[in-house]
Structure 1
Amino acid sequence: MNVEWQDRARWLGLPILFTRYWMVDETLHRRKGFLWIKEDRIPLYRILDIQVRKTPLDRILGLGTIVLYATDVTDSEMMLKGIKKADKVASLIQNRVNEVRQRYNIHGREMYGAFSGEFERP
């Protein structure tokens, strides 16, 4: 188990929120909560698009929100909020997505249309 990246959600630049993010091998994890815990996992090869959002306050504090759009049934949009150096982290995730897709010979075009029901059988 090789943790390639990990961070916590931040509020005003401080890691005081109970949300953690980490990337292990071919999976991105998000764990939320203190007493009631919810953990989401998304295989990297399912990620279709990555977006980085920054408010003016985020830019001042060096933070950002990374939005991952994926072909996942339970969570087609995963937001990683309050991430330090969000641009570098988004590039790291994109590079890992490309590596995993090449390893398994998966192309993005094979997953397009998954949101519109294009792949459903009659």
Structure 2
Amino acid sequence: MANMKKLRRDYGDVIWTGKKCIMGLPISFTRYILTTTVLYTKIGFFNIKEDEIDLYKIVDKTMKFTLGQRMVGCGTIVVTSRDCDTPNKELVSVKKPRQVKKLLDEAVKLERDKYMVRGRDMVGANLHDHDGFDAHGDDIDADYDETAEE
């Protein structure tokens, strides 16, 4: 219980937390934390690396099950997002993956409703518009309008 208090103190409203399982046992140093707004991945013991994805940026979720994972009740959830740093994230070998995916679906839906965003609204969201960039190498700016001079 003290661990959950620490997680709530550090991350806010925690919906779910889990560890990467090896042969069905949560003995790795990879922890996944799902809050109401963000999906965190925390890796390491001495040196800790932490990555996060805002839930409203998630556009797709798929699940993979190897034979070994199915034997011990685990699975891998692959998350595709419009996040520039982490476009793809794998929640590797988590226990009860279908329940976790359902929790993730509900949290993503609530965040999208909060920001009034849908997946189709974010198409090309991580592409940057470079004004004055000559895309074709012909010394003509892509935004240049010849009719404006006349």
State the TM-score, normalized to the length of structure 1: 0.92
Q: Which residue of 2 aligns with 1:120?
A: 129
The partner residue of 1:49 within 43, 46, 60 is 60
Would you say how many aligned residue pairs link Structure 1 and Structure 2?
Answer: 120
Q: Establish whether residue 78 from structure 1 lines up as the match of residue 89 from structure 2.
A: yes
Q: Which residue of 2 aligns with 1:105?
A: 116
Which contiguous aligned blocks of 4+ residues in structure 1 show a shift greater than 6 angstroms? Answer: none
Distance 1:111 1:11 in 2: 36
* Residues 56-103 of structure 1: CA deviation (Å, up to 9, x unaligned): 111111000011000111110011111011111111101110111011
The structure with more helix, counted as a fraction of residues: 2
Q: Which secondary structure state, in structure 2, belongs to the residue aligned with residue 40 of structure 1?
A: strand
Q: Which secondary structure state, in structure 1, belongs to the residue aligned with residue 100 of structure 2?
A: helix
Q: Which residue of 1 aligns with 2:16?
A: 5
Q: Who wins on radius of gyration, i.e. which is larger?
A: 2
Any unmatched runs of 5+ in structure 2? 1-11, 132-150
Q: Establish whether residue 69 from structure 1 lines up as the match of residue 77 from structure 2.
A: no
Q: Which secondary structure state, in structure 1, belongs to the residue aligned with residue 22 of structure 2?
A: coil
* Residues 41-70 of structure 1: CA deviation (Å, up to 9, x unaligned): 111000000011000111111000011000
Distance 2:125 2:116 in 1: 18
* CA positional deviation for 1:120: 3.1
Greater RCO, CA 8 A, separation 6+:
1
* CA positional deviation for 1:112: 1.9
CA RMSD of aligned residues (A): 1.3
**Percent identity over the alignment?**
36
Distance 1:85 1:112 in 2: 31
Q: Which residue of 1 aligns with 2:43?
A: 32
